[in-house]
């Protein structure tokens, strides 16, 4: 029996994974949560308050704050599942920036679209368009079907079996349908890889880095979530309804959405130079 198998059997990780599945956790969340529990037990033999604090120190020494909090959240979820009397581990406070950076600019977005069309790379052209026009996550993007493009919307189910409707703008629907009809596609996954199979989020992330190098774009802003941010920034600037934006993005709290009210550091600097004359 392998070490991983012993961990699964001895600490009920398989049952924990089933528990997460029944509570509608995403496949990525389930993978991350399971990994965190496995990592804890590889480092410490027992689930005790002291070992949990030692694990927290270990995380702080080896990972970024967001990863630390994600692993802590996973352990707290596992303890809740086990009905332990151990108090939850407190997460660390992450100081939020007063500005919002590392988002692809509107100019670079327009440039990228133009270059993708010129090179007839319509698969990635429509990926970029769909994320930026709807704000979907890359994990949601890969679930789109051809039928959704003809229907004009997609219903996405997330945590707690909550449903949100993603609306595809009319102009994009027209372009998508023209592309699909030319390719004689009427059913199946909307986006395919070069082998004709459904594309994966990791495949999209990797190709975005290739596109950054190919078109001389900043690799730090060439990632799928950057285009989701672009949608949110454009929407809040043109509409101003933060409550509606929160619903469209599928945020559990409107506080998460408030980040899009912030300016980038370059925007802040430009405004200061324009306003301050004393």
Residues marked as catalytic: 137, 159, 225, 228, 251, 260
CA dist 31 and 74 (Å) reads: 10
Structure token digits, residue 50: 């002291």
> Is 23 buried (19+), middle (13-18) or exposed (0-12) by CB count in 10 A?
middle
Confirm if 207 and 201 have CB atoms less than 8 A apart: no
How many Cβ atoms are within 10 Å of 82's Cβ, its own excluded?
Answer: 16
d(C-alpha 222, C-alpha 47), whole Å: 40
Q: In the structure encoding, which two tokens stand for residue 252, read together?
A: 């559990």
Q: Is 19 left (phi over 0), alpha (psi -120 to 50) or beta?
A: alpha
E strand spans, the chain = 153-157, 163-167
Closest CA to 37 of 63, 65, 73: 73
Q: What number of other Cβ atoms are within 10 A of residue 128's Cβ? A: 22
Phi and psi at residue 23, in whole multiples of 5°? -100, 20
- Backbone dihedral angles phi then psi of residue 252, each to the nearest 5 degrees: -75, -30
Give CA–CA dist 241/259, Å, rounded: 14
Secondary structure class of 157 (helix, strand, coil): strand
């Amino acid at each position: 029996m392998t070490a991983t198998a012993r961990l699964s059997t001895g600490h009920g990780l398989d049952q924990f994974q089933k528990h997460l599945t029944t509570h509608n956790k995403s496949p990525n969340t389930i993978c991350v949560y399971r990994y965190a529990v496995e990592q804890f037990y590889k480092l410490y033999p027992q689930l005790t308050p002291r070992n949990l604090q030692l694990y927290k120190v270990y995380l702080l020494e080896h990972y970024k704050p967001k990863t630390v909090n994600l692993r802590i959240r996973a352990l707290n979820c596992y303890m809740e599942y086990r009905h332990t009397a151990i108090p939850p581990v407190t997460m660390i406070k992450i100081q939020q920036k007063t500005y919002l950076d590392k988002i692809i600019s509107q100019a670079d977005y327009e440039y990228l679209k133009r270059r993708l069309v010129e090179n007839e790379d319509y698969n990635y052209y429509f990926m970029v368009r769909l994320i930026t026009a709807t704000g979907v996550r890359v994990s949601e993007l890969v679930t789109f079907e051809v039928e959704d493009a003809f229907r004009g919307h997609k219903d996405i189910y997330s945590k707690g079996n909550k449903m949100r409707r993603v609306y595809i703008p009319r102009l994009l629907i027209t372009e998508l349908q023209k592309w699909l009809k030319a390719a004689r596609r009427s059913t199946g996954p909307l986006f395919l890889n070069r082998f004709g199979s459904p594309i994966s989020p990791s495949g999209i992330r990797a190709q975005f880095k290739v596109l950054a190098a190919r078109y001389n774009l900043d690799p730090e802003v060439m990632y799928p979530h950057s285009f989701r941010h672009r949608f949110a920034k454009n929407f809040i600037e043109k509409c101003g309804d933060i409550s509606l934006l929160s619903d469209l993005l599928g945020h559990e709290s409107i506080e998460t959405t408030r980040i899009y009210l912030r300016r980038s550091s370059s925007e802040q600097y430009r405004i200061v130079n324009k306003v301050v004359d004393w």
